[in-house]
Structures are given as structure tokens and as C-alpha cells.
Amino acid sequence: MNLTGIIAPDVGNLTELVILDLMWNNITGSIPREIGNLGKLYLLLVNGNKLTGELPPELGNLAGLNRIQIDQNNISGPIPSTFQFLKNAKHFHMNNNSLNGSIPPELGRLENLVHLLLDNNDLSGELPPELSNISTLLIIQLDNNHFNSSIPSNYSKLEKLTKLSLRNSNLTGAIPDLSAMSSLGYLDLSNNQLTGHLPSDISQTVIAIDLSYNQLDGDIPDVLYRLRALQFLSLRNNLLDGTFNGSILEHDAFVNASSVLVLDLQNNNITSFAAGALLGISNVTLRLFGNPVCNSTSVGQNLCIEYDGSILNSSFQSTTASKHVNCSSELTCNPSRNSELVYGLLQIDGQCHCAYPLNIGYRLKSPGFAIFPPYEDGFQVYLSSGLNLSEYQVNVSSFEWEPGPRLRMNLKLFPDSTTDEFTEAEVEHLYNTFSTWNIPDNDTFGPYEVLFFNKDFPYNGSSGTSSTSGLSRGAIAGIFIGAFSFAALLVAFFMILMLRHHHRLSTARRKQGRIKVDGVKSFTYDEMTKATNNFESSAEVGSGGYGKVYKGTLADGTIVAIKRAQEGSMQGTREFFNEIELLSRIHHRNLVYLIGFCDDENEQMLVYEYMENGTLRDQLNSSSKKPLDFATRIQIALGSAKGILYLHTEANPPIYHRDIKSSNILLDSKIMAKVADFGLSRLAPVAEVEGNTAGHVSTVVKGTPGYLDPEYFLTHKLTDKSDVYSFGVVLLELITGMHPISNGKNLVREANLAYEAGMMLSVVDPRMGNHAAEGLEQLFRLAISCVGDDPDSRPSMSEVVRQLDGIWSITPGRHPIVSFEMSEDRGSESNNSRDLPYKYPFVSSDIPGSALMSGTIPEVVPR
């Protein structure tokens, strides 16, 4: 329903409320503490909105609550310790927010908890050992946080745990003995600082293991060769040595063509290799690049090719999972009426049968596998059983991995073979089964969510959810009121909630071909003119290759930045839709957030959050504003780097920015850095320099003089290292305060000369104040490495983030930026600054789960 507005505190008067479902809307404001009065509430579902503020402690009063889903908002503050009183809660889905502080140890008292999803937040402190008391836990997913902790050894007591994912969480120490986790299927401890040896014993149920990017050493233990169900093992970028002994490998892939195994051992110290029967198996992939063994002529060079992208190769990464079976008869279905061939029925008995499917967007929020096709048939069996359908009635028409990793699918549900359409009662039953989570939990597939439940012809006349609103029918779907007085209160509540702030949508609704994109708001041209006072010149705050940028105020009071396409930047509706669809999927605290768009009256505009402190270049230029001190500059660098890292590794498809510069790094009211214009490179007018060399990633050179990677300019070959070069120039700007090109001087050249002469201080911006000599030297060295002539010698963005994290940890006067509060007193250098624990990282760096995302830059394709 695309609801806007806030959740009215009056909802607390609905004391008979059982289900509050506001998922996937555009609701702002905070969660009112009055919800704590709803003693009968069973499901609290507010995920996928724009909620802010802190979690009210009063939610701990909801003793009957089974599921709390607040994920994919911008909720901050600590997790209330009162949540320990949610004794009946099974599902804590709080991922993708800005929660900070530590995980309350009191959560260990939640004796019925099954899923704990707190990934992609700003949590810190110790991992609470008390979680081991929750014997019912199946999934712990805490990736992309800032814990200062080792992995508690008593977590091995969690015998039912099927998934432990602690990726990129600043963990140290050794991997504890996990052999008692007899149900473990998915283990991801990658991108930490773990040391010691690999586990010597682990459950035979394990499907996926990712221990990459740590400091693990020693041999590969025999137990890892004996895991017959293993799909995916990544040990890349560690300190492992010895022999990889393929001759003792035992795996189902040797006897079952549907089993697959990916072994990524790149960048270790493996000195020898025994192939055994390994090389004759087509469904086993082995990668040895970066090991001494690759210097031997006895190892096939196909094993020693560097592989930076997805662990999945193309044979496991199809975008369409439908079984394409030819229909032997001359029967043709009428696609204009949404009639489709029932593939499942055709496979069973060869009958060609047309029917009208229900189309459903479905996402596995924490799947217990790394490669889907071997599990696809099992998933269809599981889902058909949960829906009380026959197997042929359920079809996964397409799927794709999303950051998390999460698995998004498009499902088609067909009526049974005796008819060509579902009855209205059947549609309502299926809808209610999904919306109330009556499909039983499954250890392999994990928790799910429904993104949309489309009812196209002939179902679009029946009651139920809108075809574009997902499962959320406001809070109406699943709200059961026991008395007429409560119904009256409910109507009053929703009249408040659904105020459209005088939006006039009639023109847009009449407009043919108007595009709709989940997660962002569609504005009319009239709304944009009102927001900017008819685009008056005083509202103009900038311009670029895409067009002019205006400061505007929406009808609800939200201040936004509106990028208005100029003549020459306009795209066709389909191309514009592709770009909006791509941008709508990009969510990171260090990337400027897309609020909505306008495709109306032959105008195209993008509506972003407004950044009060302008660009980094503005701050460095300003003589009137307080100069940025060294600690703040490191925070800006770290936040920007993490935003770029997200584009490189988490976006699907990955995005290479192509125009990183200080004027594309924006600062909010609290000097939090956010990278901008990361999608507009695809929308901007074609540059004057073009190339069409076969095999090159980019055919258009785009960038700004002074920031442009020389290798990219000469060869037109765009890679992630092109962005690294541009970011290196930004680092030099932060160090020197200088422009990339000014008065005939080139910043990169001047910085290199000063660095080589040992005269770094001669170019350092004197306005930055106190700084640790070691930190400045490391930052300068990092910047110089980023702007090196040879792209292969430049660090990756993940390495840039890692080094900036280290510099931040030794920076005096660093600020507890978790709260993002500015103070006039920036702090002073302390003699004990180097001994301070690393408690205040800037923001999380989102590292993709198990490297499942594509490493190439395909054309943007709508979901």
C-alpha cells in the first residue's frame, strides 16, 4: 500500500491486537513505546520501512510475542535488556539497522529463541557467553558488527545450531572446538583476525565453511577432506601451509553428478598438491592461485588463475531456474492474459496444460547453503508440503543471491490439474498461510519473508493484498479485533497513519506506463515543483553531468536533494527504471540514500536524502568553518571507503563508481561521510572519449581530471582498482587540503615527490591539528599505494578499509562516532591513546557472505 507517515501512539489503545503488520512501506518516525501496552500481540512486523529512533524498553512487556521483525530500517541505540522478558519469542530479526552497544547477556534467558539475526548493525563489546544457554537456537547471524571479542568456547553447547555466521565482526583469538555442534550446516567466520589452526573436528552435516581472510596457519586437517556433504570451503587469504591432499578427499560429488564442491585455497602457503581423482570431476572446483605450489610445472595452470569474484561459477548461477521442457502438442498459452504452461505437470505425465499462476516474491533471510540448484527440488517439495499443494504446482521461476547472503526468488504457484485457476478461497488460504508463517521452519532453508503477492488476471478482482504492496495491508492484514469499540479505534489509527500530506496522485495514476519500484517512492512532477518552489534559483545547490541539484522540502517536511536530469541526460522509461531499480537495492550507511524518483511530464528526477554539510571538498575549501581535525579526516576516509567497498562487493551486480572525488563524498549534520552519484555514471551523458576494445569492462571513459586512473584512461579497462586510484587521490586531499590539479601542479606528482624525499610534512595541511606521527605516515603510505601506476600493485578496497581501521585504532582524540554527535571539544592527544581499546569504529564494512556475489559488471537487469 506504500503507506507513509508515522505509527501513531494511539495504536497502544488496541489492546486486543494480535498481529501488527506494517512491512515494506515508507513509514517514518520511531516505534512508539505505547506498543508495549498490546499484551496480546503475537507478531510485530515493521521491517522494510524508514523507522528511526531507539527501541523502546516497553516492548519487553509483550510477553506473548512470537516474532519481532524490525530489520531493514535505521533504528539506533542499544538493544533493551527488557527483551529478556520476551519469553515466548522465537524470532529476533533486527538486522540491517544502526543498533549499537553490546548484546545484552540477559538475552540468554530467552529459552524459546530460534533465530537471532543482528547482522549489519554497529554492535560492539563482547559476544555474550550466555547465548549458549538457549538450547533452542538454530541460527546466530551477527555479521558486520564491531565486537571486541573472541568466540566463546561454550557456544559448542548449542547442539541444535545449524548456522553460525560471524563474518567481519572484529573477532580475535582461536576458533573454539565446535565438534559438539552436531547439527551445524553453515559456518562463516571470514574477515576477522582469527589465529591458530583450523578446527580438527567438525560435524559431518556441514554444507558451507568460510574461514577466509583471517590469520589461520598450519596444515589442512584430515576432517575437512571427509565432509561428504560439503558444498563450499573457502580458506583463502590465510597462512596455511603444507600439502593439499586431494587423494584422500571423500565427497558425494565423486559419485553423484548433482553434488558440487568449491574449494578456494587462494593466497596461502601451500607448497605441494596431490590430485588423486580430484581433477577428473567436473563438478569440483579447486582454486590455488597465490600459493607456492603454483610455481611448480606439475600443477595445471587452470588451478592457478586468480579469481576475485563469486565463488559460484556460471554453471551454478543461472538467473532462471525454470525447467524448459518443450510441449509436444500445438497448445499455446495466452501470455497477454497471464496464462502459462504448467511445467511441473508436463514433466510428470507429458500433458500440456495452461493455467493462471500466482506470482510471489519470496526471500530466504538466512539460508543454510551456499549453492542453490542442488537444493531447488527439495525446496519445492518443502514449500508445496507447507502450502498443502502438489509438487508440480510450485515453480521457482528465477532466483538471485542478495547481500547477506540472502536468496531472493520469484515463485509461481499453479492451480491443480483439474482447473486453470485458483478459487478465491484458495487464494486467500495461500495468502494467509504465507502471512502468518504457517509454513513450518526448515533447518536448511531458514526463515523467510514474502516481498510481494501479486494477483494478476484473473485474481485481481478478489479481496486480499494489493498486487504491489507485498504482504502488508497496512496493519489490517492479520489484525483481529474482538469488539466493535476496538474496530472504531483501529479506523481512527489508520486515518492518522495514512495521511498523504495533500499528495495529488491522480495525474500520475492516469499516466500510462508509470513505473513502480519496491522500496522507493514515486513522486509526481507537481510534487517536485512544490518542493522546490518551482525550481527557483535560490533552491539550486549544485550541478553535475546528470543535471542540476535542488534543495527541496516534501509535503511531510522532509528536506531532500532533487537531481533533475538536463536535456541529454534523459533515458527511456525502461533504462530509467533499470537504474532506479538498481539504486533502490543499494542500502549502506555510507552511501547516500535514494528516497524516490519522478518520471512524469517528460521529466526524470532522483530524490535523495539531503546532506547538511555539503561535500568534503566544501569542508576542505572553507575558511569560515571549523577545520577538520586529523581524527575527523580519518573517520571520513574510513566511512567513504566502506561505502565504496559495499559497491564493489555487496551490490548485485557490483558497481564500479568511476567518478570518486571529494565533491562526491557528502557529509551529513554529524559529519558522517556518504558516497554519492554511484549510480549516475550509468545515467550521465556519454563522454567524449569512447572505446570498443573487445573484452574490456567499460566502453565509456568517465571521470574527473586529477582523479582519473591513468590505466583506465589509456586502455578503457575499468576495474575495482580504478576506483582505488581515485580514492587514493581523495586520501591525498584529506592529508594536504590541496586540489588534485591547481596552479599547474598535480597533487599525485607532488605527493610522490614529497614521500620519496622523506618530506611528507611539507605538504601536510597544517589546519588538521594534532596527529600521531605513525598514523599520518601510515595514511600517507596507503594513499601513495592507491595511486600507484600499476593497478595490480594497488590494494583492494577491502585492504584499504582494513588499513584505515588500523590507523583509526591508534588515532589520538578519536571520537565515539557511533552516536555521530559533533562537539566543539574534539579532544586532545593522550599519552595513553595507543592503549585505548578499539571501541568506537566508524561504521561497519559490509563484506559479502561467502563471496557469493558476482565479480563481473553485467548490464543492469531488473529483478
DSSP string of 660-677, one letter each residue: --GGGEEE-TT--EEE--
Q: How distant, in Å, are the alpha carbons of 64, 68, 95, 292, 474 from that of 59? A: 11, 10, 17, 56, 20
What CATH class is the domain 616-851? mainly alpha
- Which pLDDT tens digit goes with each residue over 309-342? 444 333 343 333 444 445 555 566 776 566 777 6
Q: What is the 3-state secondary structure (H, E, C) of 544-592?
A: CCCEEEEEEECCCCCEEEEEEECCCCCCCHHHHHHHHHHHHCCCCCCEC
**pLDDT less than 50: residues of the chain:** 309-325, 462-489, 491-492, 495-514, 681-699, 816-863
- Which pLDDT tens digit goes with each residue over 581-590? 777 778 888 9
CATH 3.30.70.150 fits 335-469, yes or no: yes
At 556 the pLDDT is 87
At 764 the pLDDT is 92
At 405 the pLDDT is 84
Q: Which residue has the cell 600443477?
A: 299
Give the CATH fold of the 520-609 domain.
Answer: Phosphorylase Kinase; domain 1 (3.30.200)
d(CA 111, CA 131): 10
d(CA 380, CA 375): 9
Q: Which residue has the cell 573457502?
A: 234
Report CA dihedral (360, 366, 371, 372) to the nearest 10 degrees: -20
Per 3-state DSSP, the chain is made up of helix, strand and coil in percentages (nearest 5) of 30, 20, 50
Residue type, 771: H
SS3 493: helix
- For the whole prediction, is pTM greater than 0.85? no
d(CA 428, CA 169): 43
At 743 the pLDDT is 77
Q: Which residue has the cell 550541478?
A: 543
Residue type, 73: N
Q: Which residue has the cell 543498533?
A: 99
d(CA 287, CA 263): 6
Binding positions are 563
Q: How distant, in Å, are the alpha carbons of 199, 365, 417, 545, 660 from that of 706? A: 49, 43, 65, 17, 11
SS3 525: helix
At 626 the pLDDT is 81
Q: In the numeric block, which cell numbers belong to residue 318?
A: 543461472
Element (H, E) at 750: helix 747-756
At 770 the pLDDT is 76
Domain ranges of the chain: 335-469, 520-609, 616-851
**Active-site residue, selected from the candidate residues 122, 659, 709, 723:** 659
Residue type, 770: N
The verdict on whether 659 is a catalytic residue reads yes
Residue 235, C-beta contacts closer than 8 angstroms, at least 6 positions apart: 198, 211, 212, 216, 220, 264, 265, 268
At 392 the pLDDT is 83
At 296 the pLDDT is 81
Task: Count CB-CB contacts under 10 A for residue 581.
Answer: 18
d(CA 444, CA 231): 13
659 and 705 in contact (C-beta within 8 Å)? no
Binding positions for ATP are 563
Residue type, 104: P
At 856 the pLDDT is 30
